[in-house]
Structure 1
Amino acid sequence: MTLPDRSSLSRRDYVRGLVAAGGATALGACLDVTSDGPEPDVPSGTDDPASLPDRQHAWNDSLSTDADGTIQLPEHHVLCPLALSDAIADGTDIDDERRETVEAGLQTLERAYEWSNEGLVFTIGYTPAYFARFDDSLPDSVDLPDPEALTAQETPEFDEFDALLHLASDHPSVVLEAEEGLFGDREQLNGLEVETDLSDVFDRVVQHRRTGFIGEGLPAEHADVDGVPDSIHENAPFFMGFRSGFADSQATEDRVTIEDGPFAGGATMHVSSMAINLTQWFQQENHYQRVSKLFSPDHADEELAGEYGEALGGSSAMTPDRIDATEADARERGVVGHAQKAARAREDGEPLLLRRDFNTVDGDQPGLHFVSLQDEIDAFVRVREAMTGTDLEVARANSGILHYLFVNRRGNYLLPARDARAVPTPTSDSTDV
């Protein structure tokens, strides 16, 4: 990919463009530009990776929080798709030596970078296509169907490669450096010698690599991209103009963890990559309408959200009464909120999904990579059905934010526990393909 033109971009936009470009050249440019300003102080990782949480997806206790106690995801993200090398894909056993290679490579990241926003957090997940090459099937305790279209309006492509590496850090140079080091293009990571990489086991599927960002003020800095209006509030962390990730709208890491079977301690992950029609969202709708469609009509009436969700503090204010009013709001008021609809899928008042999604300008257009963790993919499907709201008596244009989102890709993944994350078999204990 061609590197961005530094002369036409702010420093922050330039380094985000470098993350999107990827590769050794982009990393070199990123290191050059960061040397022009304060050099990031990236804390080193642990000498004992076994001391890290058993769950790959256990990020929350190590991430920073805002003044309201809301967990803050790292600012920069890379979704790096992987395919098994030809020798393995053609039928060579996935043996203990290859597992040790993958595990050693991943542990290099954990030794090089602190498990935190300032360092690096990551997961590696495996697709149904990966597990389909084995004679054995996944156990009943794992719900990992092939991805599929979930509404009549979408015709997405599907992630059918083998695995996906999700890298996240507050420092753009870290996600670039980590990716390059894992594939033999970097001799050191944060000062640590790279002795093992993944290039003998995996190839990168560069055409489906995805990147993005999240954080207050970052979306507004992309007003120079076609389709990103300059009316996004300067402090909004998401393209649609409001805060997200409130604690009461997020499942806990315990809730999304698989409890039984050989993959106990793991989770499933769904990734939806979508475009957003921000021009219509900001130019056709006023602030009242945006709040009504994103949260609920009550939120708009009572001015609960503030300018970009800051007035909500640490809570979404999605009370049982507002959730119960969804059908009546659709029928009587002709509009219903996205969060209001999705909350109908809660069980015993608890959300089913832990979202780790982020904004993107991949393809030079505004979008969202929706990353969702749950114990079973069916939980995501149920929430998506509630959010789609085909049971509600309301026009699609007023049914939350459906009218503004366009799904391009879907993928389902199994995130094994840390001790089973290196090219697992369906039983997590067999070595025969």
Structure 2
Amino acid sequence: MTARDNRGIPRREFVKSAVAIGGTAALAACLDRERSGDDAAAIPTGTDDPTSLPRGQHSWNEFLATDAHGNDVAPRHHLLLSLDYAGDGTPSSDERETVEVALQSLERAFEWSNEGLLFTVGYSPAYFARFDDELPDSAGMADPKALSPFEEPEFDTNDAVVHLASDHGSVVLEAEEALKGSRDEANGVEMDAHLGDVFDFPDDFPGRRTGFVGAGLPAEHQDVAGIPDDVDIDEESPLFMGFKSGFKKNQASEDFVTIPDGPFAGGTTQHVSRIRLRLDDWYTENDREENVAKMFCPAHAKEGKVEGAGDNLGTSSGVEEAGCVESIDDDARNYGKIGHTQKTAAAREDGSPLIIRRDFDSTDKDEAGLHFLAVQRSIADFEKTREAMNGTDQTKHPTIRQRVNNGILEYTFVKRRGNFLLPPRAHRALPEPNPQ
């Protein structure tokens, strides 16, 4: 049964709405709902020893909950904050110290886990352009660009982005306000510095983006543009399109996506897309079999392999085991359609996927959306995965068009793209292109 507050509002619905609104008033209300009363959430505090934390900011998996199959379960609430360096020229050593102290304050305040707070700080090509030196090739970075012939995205040019994630909406809100300098403490721990002393925080979208992932959340927040009024999204679905993602065997390992050498060894790169979802046809013109075919592969649909949101599949989408990657040409010819997972599974190196998906749904701008966040060793790995998703080679078949019968491309519209470098923890505070 869904937990409700004393006003009868479902707790998880209220918390998601508070995160989307933001600000001190929303935080106060969220703290009251999540951290007071008989069922108050006890938020674990963090550590005074920075060396006890992983070298890589992206090292989350060990600290996440897992489902019954052993898949990592993403935190339920997410916040992306764009930042712009407020100074002139290049950052000073004092400013670097301020940033590092602020981040370590958060790590003392909240345990590094989904029950506490997980976060990353990434830097864009625009940030590094202020330096005379260039980033080394080993950093794996590139400017954002359109990655399909049918998209015209805007590009994120802010200096940095902070990704905050937790199972508790009050945690991401409290961390946001503490970083800005609106609060002197977080989770009862004093903040010794604030990012607001060094960075400017844009207040509105796209500078502030929110989202969620997890069973029940999409169903409770489907009353937005892009989702038909007469459709009820399954309560078990963690995402708006009705199926789960993030199967363990379909994700790269954190070791695989870690930069192996150079000054940023131990770090990784991050791509962030903002995708608008238009699901009227997905839910009103397609039947269940059609959607399974387009999300996974035609063989899965024909054989009824996917139950509900797909939890029965265990640790793998099963498209490799079913031979769907090799049969894609035959499927296009025989079924007149191909699947999203069927295409992207072809983007591998030595048998491993190239990226880790950490995406989440959103109702920013009161429309159904997806913030597709991925980490990978180099931006080129993301671009290779996206190229596979385009399925351009299969348009040689008369029924397959660039956006029709071609996975889920007909229902997803890329509006923004941004690329960021996630330095290892030792260099995360206003790094130079070649930090020593």
TM-score relative to the length of structure 2:
0.94
Please list, as runs of the form range in 1=range in 2, the aligned pairs for 1:380-391 lying within 5 A after superposition. 380-391=382-393
Alpha-carbon distance, 1:295 to partner: 0.3
Which residue of structure 1 lines up, in the alignment, with residue 114 of structure 2?
Answer: 117
Which residue of structure 2 lines up, in the alignment, with residue 377 of structure 1?
Answer: 379
Following the alignment from structure 1 to structure 2, what is the Cα–Cα distance between the partners of residues 140 and 240?
Answer: 37
Does structure 2 conserve the Cα–Cα contact (< 8 Å) formed by 1:222 and 1:228? no
Which residue of structure 1 lines up, in the alignment, with residue 408 of structure 2?
Answer: 401
Alpha-carbon distance, 1:36 to partner: 5.5
Following the alignment from structure 1 to structure 2, what is the Cα–Cα distance between the partners of residues 101 and 404?
Answer: 44
* RMSD of aligned alpha carbons: 1.5
Please list, as runs of the form range in 1=range in 2, the aligned pairs for 1:55-204 lying within 5 A after superposition. 55-85=56-86, 88=87, 90-91=88-89, 93-204=90-201
Following the alignment from structure 2 to structure 1, what is the Cα–Cα distance between the partners of residues 38 and 359?
Answer: 29
Following the alignment from structure 2 to structure 1, what is the Cα–Cα distance between the partners of residues 47 and 333?
Answer: 56
Answer with 218-227 or 172-181: which moved more: 218-227
Does structure 1 conserve the Cα–Cα contact (< 8 Å) formed by 2:133 and 2:433? yes
Are 1:15 and 2:15 an aligned pair? yes
Does structure 1 conserve the Cα–Cα contact (< 8 Å) formed by 2:123 and 2:161? yes
- Give the length in aligned residue pairs: 420
Following the alignment from structure 1 to structure 2, what is the Cα–Cα distance between the partners of residues 257 and 374?
Answer: 7
Following the alignment from structure 1 to structure 2, what is the Cα–Cα distance between the partners of residues 184 and 315?
Answer: 43
Alpha-carbon distance, 1:206 to partner: 2.1
Cα deviation 1:228-248 (Å, max 9, x = unaligned): 343311101111001110011
Which residue of structure 1 lines up, in the alignment, with residue 314 of structure 2?
Answer: 313
Alpha-carbon distance, 1:337 to partner: 0.4
SS at match of 2:65: coil
Which residue of structure 2 lines up, in the alignment, with residue 51 of structure 1?
Answer: 52
Following the alignment from structure 2 to structure 1, what is the Cα–Cα distance between the partners of residues 8 and 390?
Answer: 40
Which residue of structure 2 lines up, in the alignment, with residue 355 of structure 1?
Answer: 357
The letter of the residue matching 2:184 is E
SS at match of 1:344: coil
Alpha-carbon distance, 1:332 to partner: 2.5
Query: Which aligned segments of 4 or more residues in structure 1 are displaced greater than 4 angstroms?
Result: 6-9
Alpha-carbon distance, 1:227 to partner: 3.2
The letter of the residue matching 2:227 is V
Alpha-carbon distance, 1:64 to partner: 0.5
Alpha-carbon distance, 1:348 to partner: 2.3
Following the alignment from structure 1 to structure 2, what is the Cα–Cα distance between the partners of residues 389 and 226?
Answer: 27
Alpha-carbon distance, 1:9 to partner: 5.5
Following the alignment from structure 1 to structure 2, what is the Cα–Cα distance between the partners of residues 332 and 382?
Answer: 27
Alpha-carbon distance, 1:345 to partner: 1.1
Which residue of structure 2 lines up, in the alignment, with residue 210 of structure 1?
Answer: 209
- Indicate which of 411, 419, 424 corresponds to 1:412: 419
Which residue of structure 2 lines up, in the alignment, with residue 327 of structure 1?
Answer: 329
Following the alignment from structure 2 to structure 1, what is the Cα–Cα distance between the partners of residues 130 and 38?
Answer: 49
Which residue of structure 2 lines up, in the alignment, with residue 256 of structure 1?
Answer: 257
Following the alignment from structure 1 to structure 2, what is the Cα–Cα distance between the partners of residues 66 and 228?
Answer: 28
Does structure 1 conserve the Cα–Cα contact (< 8 Å) formed by 2:320 and 2:345? no
Alpha-carbon distance, 1:8 to partner: 9.7
Following the alignment from structure 2 to structure 1, what is the Cα–Cα distance between the partners of residues 259 and 381?
Answer: 12
Following the alignment from structure 1 to structure 2, what is the Cα–Cα distance between the partners of residues 357 and 37?
Answer: 33
Does structure 1 conserve the Cα–Cα contact (< 8 Å) formed by 2:124 and 2:420? yes
The letter of the residue matching 1:357 is D
Following the alignment from structure 1 to structure 2, what is the Cα–Cα distance between the partners of residues 94 and 370?
Answer: 30
Following the alignment from structure 1 to structure 2, what is the Cα–Cα distance between the partners of residues 7 and 423?
Answer: 45
Which residue of structure 2 lines up, in the alignment, with residue 277 of structure 1?
Answer: 278
Alpha-carbon distance, 1:49 to partner: 1.7
The letter of the residue matching 1:331 is R
Cα deviation 1:182-216 (Å, max 9, x = unaligned): 11111211110112111121111222210000111
TM-score relative to the length of structure 1:
0.94
* Identity, % of aligned positions: 53
Following the alignment from structure 1 to structure 2, what is the Cα–Cα distance between the partners of residues 37 and 162?
Answer: 43
Following the alignment from structure 2 to structure 1, what is the Cα–Cα distance between the partners of residues 191 and 129?
Answer: 32
Which residue of structure 1 lines up, in the alignment, with residue 433 of structure 2?
Answer: 426
Does structure 1 conserve the Cα–Cα contact (< 8 Å) formed by 2:114 and 2:167? yes
Where in structure 2 are there 5+ consecutive unaligned residues? 1-5
SS at match of 2:73: coil
The letter of the residue matching 1:19 is V
The letter of the residue matching 2:434 is T
The letter of the residue matching 2:329 is E
SS at match of 1:83: strand
The letter of the residue matching 1:218 is L
Cα deviation 1:110-138 (Å, max 9, x = unaligned): 11111111000000000000001100000
Following the alignment from structure 1 to structure 2, what is the Cα–Cα distance between the partners of residues 283 and 37?
Answer: 43
SS at match of 2:342: helix
The letter of the residue matching 1:11 is R
Alpha-carbon distance, 1:32 to partner: 2.6
Following the alignment from structure 1 to structure 2, what is the Cα–Cα distance between the partners of residues 113 and 198?
Answer: 17
Are 1:245 and 2:249 an aligned pair? no
Following the alignment from structure 2 to structure 1, what is the Cα–Cα distance between the partners of residues 227 and 104?
Answer: 39
Following the alignment from structure 1 to structure 2, what is the Cα–Cα distance between the partners of residues 224 and 371?
Answer: 24
Following the alignment from structure 1 to structure 2, what is the Cα–Cα distance between the partners of residues 282 and 420?
Answer: 46
The letter of the residue matching 1:405 is T
